[in-house]
Structure 1
């Protein structure tokens, strides 16, 4: 039997719970790191491994500036963030939290730029029925 690479409903549900909890913790500034608390960080998505032991949080600082500093601060405080998230969630294991930059907005901008090019607009335009 072939396994699907798509995440299960449980993975999606737990990922969303972690995302919400992590967002709340970061928004309230509960972490004991003044540098991290001074940043406004958006948690766009959290993907979990099939066994729910690893969660990858895709984050982006407000405005996209200082992304490397934000990642460094999050990684420095990953243990404290893991404890805070696990206290609020009722899971058998506290997942290891990994942080990565959320590149969704960059990909959307690139797609818009590509679709705005003249030759692409010409190719995707609805053909005029009178020309046929």
Structure 2
């Protein structure tokens, strides 16, 4: 399983890539494997300011729907429009083309408080 070291992770299985004050967010390879085949991604929060751990959308797999939690406080800037027609990108490329949203982070230092790749790897038992 892949745990890119340039990302930060949450216990809820989201990943964060911080570039300045903008963060790209998606779900981890572990999460997409646990969910199974992703058939729909719903993110109705574009432009909204949310607190850390607020739900920013849902991901639907064949047998379940799971909430998506914002790792750090910020404003949802954009949603990956490719997921509308190709939600399976979350399964095939969770750290690349399967990203979900970008946000403007309220406090970039908050990202440093998230799990490192090694800490996340230990959390999921890999």
TM-score computed with the length of structure 1 as normaliser: 0.28
Higher Cα Rg, which structure: 1
Structure (1 or 2) with the greater helix fraction: 1
RCO comparison, higher one (Cα < 8 Å, 6+): 2
